[in-house]
A and B are shown apart, each in its own frame.
Chain A
Amino acid sequence: MSTGSVEVVYRGIFQKTLAKNICRGIVLAARKEGKIGIAFGRYGDSPERNGIPAKQFAVVSDNQEELEEHLAKYEPDNNDVTISLDDALCKGVESWAWYGLQPINKLLADGGTLLVTSTQSANKLIKTIHSKKAPYNLAIVKSPASFSGLWVYKDDHTDVRLLGALAKVAPQIVSLESIVAAIVEQWKDDLKVASAKKAYDVVESTPVGADQGNDEVPFSFDLPGWTKMEEGLVIRGMDAKPQDVPGRDGGYVPTRSETFKKFSTRTMRPVINFDTCTKCTLCWLNCPDTCFDITPDGFYDANMEACCGCGVCEAVCPVNECVTMVNEEAFEDHDSQWEMWTKDKKGYLAWLSEKITQRPARSHGFHHVGQYAEEIADDPA
């Protein structure tokens, strides 16, 4: 093979520098072997929004003509390696230029490797990843979602650990020797070289069979053509019929878009204790995405097709232990919490306290000062 391509999926802004370092590192290392290459981002993701899934790529080739097949394109469609910098993205990727939920392995070549930073086990991760028609490999670099390179966040070597692991899972793209040479040149740091070599030695790869994994059909829709779109750049308000909404008898009732939904856009979601809720409206009022549905009995139910996981509801809620943000890793569906509570209040409370007490580390950097340092200290790797 004379052309190799790597896709890096990451959280917009938070991991942009990290993704850029990895993609540049691949091209600069491949240059050591006389190859040429390109490093670029998916322009549809820009300008990047906090936490919204985004992509960057590195394509290397030993000749200009083959490389040219990958220039002036949105994204390479058959990657040897897909790197996911946040394991929550294994549930699927939603770009800001919305076109549905794209399985994390959709653009991965048959027999390629999905390389993920995660503290979860391969077996647990595979259950969240959409199944693929062809077998591939899942490799894990043990790490929480890293913010390395973002503003004040310290360099935790995630970039070079992934470069080292890449050399192990795809030596045809770039060798460990070239990675080391590029690291020395870029950073002049022996410790970073050691981190890359260690990741090369310890990275574990698990074969994933055809059709193994999450069998959910990923959400998609068709875009309209020019003969069907409304002229003059007009978008109609989505008006629900008042009779369809319990407790409403007139007026404009907004409903939700059938196509614009959010699933993997968020890294956390609110869980709500309806027993302590005082119906103060603050979560509903402050939610930047209007994600709270008003229930017939006057509660506010966070709609998991609309929530972006920002945590504002938790911040503004005046009640102790009413709204709690929990890492997406803890969830497998997008069901209504209010419906669950209505059906079985005791069962819901048990579910809720399990989610809160057993919750994995939070994923947003802004939760509290020092959180990141604690996460790194706790990391077994």
Chain B
Amino acid sequence: MTPPDLAVAEKIEGPSGETEELISGSEAIAHACRLADVDVITAYPIRPYDTVMQYVSQMISNGDFDCEFIVAESEHSQFEIVKHASVVGARVFCGSSGVGWFYAFEALAVTAGLRVPMVAMVGNRALDDPGAFGVEHNDALAVRDLGWMLNWVSTAQEALDTALIAYRVAEDKRVSLPCAISCDGAFLTHSQTLVKVPAQETVDSFLPPYDRAEKQLHPDNPITIAPQVNEDWLMEMRRQNDMAMRRARGVIIEAYEDFNAKFGRSGEPFIERYMMDDAEIALVGMGTLAMPVRVAVRKMREQGKKVGFVRVRWFRPFPTIELQDVLGGVHAVGVIDRDYSFGSAFHSGVLATEVRSALYPMESPPKVISFIAGLGGREVSADNVIEMADMAFDAAGGGDINDQDTHWIGVRE
């Protein structure tokens, strides 16, 4: 028996005022909203995102959080309201899942076009029909070409930390772009783990107040945002958007460095490298897929198989430089997509297509084997991962595995 005086309390005030709480990924996002002192939050229920609005409204009713909380009549209005609130100077938060995110699509497109630094949470969910609640990444990925910054997190802790980083990056004047944080439905949104919740002072030292300065819509600052434009204006606007996304890279690196200094954790900004130092083949994936993959990598390492894992944390801006660096030396790369892109090159998922593209200019690029797994919330087991790694080893060794096709793993024939 362990005497209770060895106890680590649920909430202990550490030297930094940090507390530890048993919370889900959704609740971690709600804490980030509270700590970022968000001014306006809009909500419309769809699972698994809706757990965030439950926790936010609970914090407000408990008196722990003061913000305008508006339950809209649809996702379209939900995203429109925060877009407008943002241009008058409010820090905003929003979120959705699956087809709810798609119902807001028009608003999502203009949010990026108008350079509104909205932070959103996407509780990743399969697209209906059929009405399935499990995780697929196609919902958030649908805005990948529009100027939204996109990242995927793998733990509730990372969800909280990344949301704070997202505000800093999105609102930075060099960027001013919206950012969506993807949390895998169920595995992250509905699972409670121990999370370090930072103190307000630490967050305040990291995250400056939202300041639109001369771009704030106000009677004292008469400006027009979003007038009609024609072919003689739009291409220049798009180019500005492109530059903002290019600048985001440096701003993200800066933010992670500062986060690490203030909070003592953050990791490498764009990717996570797991046992990659001497890896002969690498697996690549996003989100909570990291859990079974890391378990499988350890098992295979015990058998002497030199396999590593690269978790893509930021999908936009895409970590081209990092992936070239980490994957350049391996013989084969197995990309595990929890999404699909029907009719794409080699019938691959979205991530595999992007990874292939990033590695193409290299002098002797590794073979890229594309896998689709875990759709609709299906569990990806460590055995599934070993199966994929073995196929990548086969490709690396010149085996007969077809690297110009995409392999569906864990599907019933």
Contacts and interface: CB of A to CB of B under 8 A. Distances in A.
Contact of B194 (A32, A36, A177, A178): A36
Interface of B: 1-4, 6-10, 20, 22, 47, 129-130, 133-134, 184-187, 190-194, 288-292, 294-295, 298, 377, 379-382, 411-413
Nearest to A222: B412
B8 A43 contact: no
A226 B4 contact: no
Nearest to A25: B22
Given A177-B4, A185-B9, A37 B294 contact: no
Given A171-B1, A178-B7, A180-B4, A72 B47 contact: no
18 contacts: A31-B10, A32-B7, A37-B193, A40-B191, A43-B133, A43-B190, A43-B377, A46-B47, A46-B133, A47-B47, A65-B298, A68-B291, A68-B294, A72-B379, A177-B3, A178-B7, A226-B412, A226-B413
A181 B7 CA distance: 8
A69 B295 contact: yes
A178 B191 CA distance: 22
A34 interface: yes
Contacts of A272: none
Given A71-B291, A178-B4, A24 B22 contact: yes
Contacts of A43: 133-134, 185-186, 190, 377
B194 A31 contact: yes
Contacts of A71: 187, 191, 288, 291
A182 B22 CA distance: 12
Interface in A25-57: 27-28, 31-34, 36-41, 43, 46-47
Contacts of A74: 379
Contact of A73 (B129, B193, B379): B379
Interface string A61-89: 00001001101111000000000000000
Contact of B2 (A33, A37, A38): A33
Contacts of A373: none
A223 interface: yes
A250 interface: no
Contacts of B377: 43
A246 interface: no
Contacts of A225: 411-413
A214 B411 CA distance: 34
A46 B3 CA distance: 38
A27 B10 CA distance: 10
A28 B10 contact: yes
Sorting the interface of chain A by its residue count into under 10, 10 to 19, 20 to 34 or 35 or more gives 35 or more
Interface in A157-190: 171, 175, 177-178, 180-182, 185-186
Interface string A272-299: 0000000000000000000000000000
Contact of B192 (A27, A32, A72, A223): A27
Contacts of B380: 72
Contacts of B379: 72-74
B22 A27 contact: yes
Given A33-B2, A43-B186, A226-B412, 7 more contacts: A32-B4, A38-B192, A39-B191, A43-B185, A46-B190, A71-B288, A185-B10
A226 B47 CA distance: 26
B8 A34 contact: yes
A376 to B, nearest CB: 29
Given A31-B10, A178-B7, A38 B193 contact: yes
A224 interface: yes
Interface of A: 24, 27-28, 31-34, 36-41, 43, 46-47, 65, 68-69, 71-74, 171, 175, 177-178, 180-182, 185-186, 223-227, 233
Nearest to B130: A233
Contact of A69 (B1, B185, B382): B382
B192 A40 contact: yes
Nearest to B194: A36
A176 to B, nearest CB: 8
A223 B6 contact: no
Nearest to B408: A226
B411 A37 contact: no
B395 to A, nearest CB: 24
Given A71-B288, A73-B379, A178 B190 contact: no
Contacts of A68: 291, 294-295
B187 A72 contact: yes
Contacts of A223: 412
Contacts of A40: 190-192
Contacts of B8: 31-32, 34
Contacts of B7: 31-33, 178, 181
Contacts of B20: 31
A196 B105 CA distance: 52
Contacts of B47: 46-47
Query: Residue among B1, B10, B47, B298 with the most chain A CB within 10 A?
Result: B10
Contacts of B192: 24, 27, 38-40
Contacts of B289: 72
B290 to A, nearest CB: 8
- Pairs of residues from A and B, 10 with the lowest C-beta to C-beta distance, nearest first: A43-B186, A225-B412, A40-B191, A72-B291, A32-B7, A72-B288, A71-B291, A225-B413, A72-B187, A33-B2
Given A27-B192, A177-B4, A39 B295 contact: no
Contacts of B130: 233
B411 A226 contact: yes
A357 to B, nearest CB: 45
A367 B185 CA distance: 36
Contacts of A38: 191-193
Nearest to B155: A71
A72 B296 CA distance: 13
Contact of A28 (B4, B22, B290, B292): B22
Nearest to B1: A175
Contacts of A226: 411-413
A34 B298 CA distance: 24
A226 B372 CA distance: 14
B22 A181 contact: no
A294 B130 CA distance: 33
A150 to B, nearest CB: 17
Contacts of B411: 225-226
A171 B413 CA distance: 44
A18 B20 CA distance: 23
A162 to B, nearest CB: 18
Contacts of A46: 47, 133, 190
A177 B382 CA distance: 36
Contacts of A27: 22, 192, 194
A40 to B, nearest CB: 4
A224 B411 CA distance: 10
A48 to B, nearest CB: 11
A64 to B, nearest CB: 10
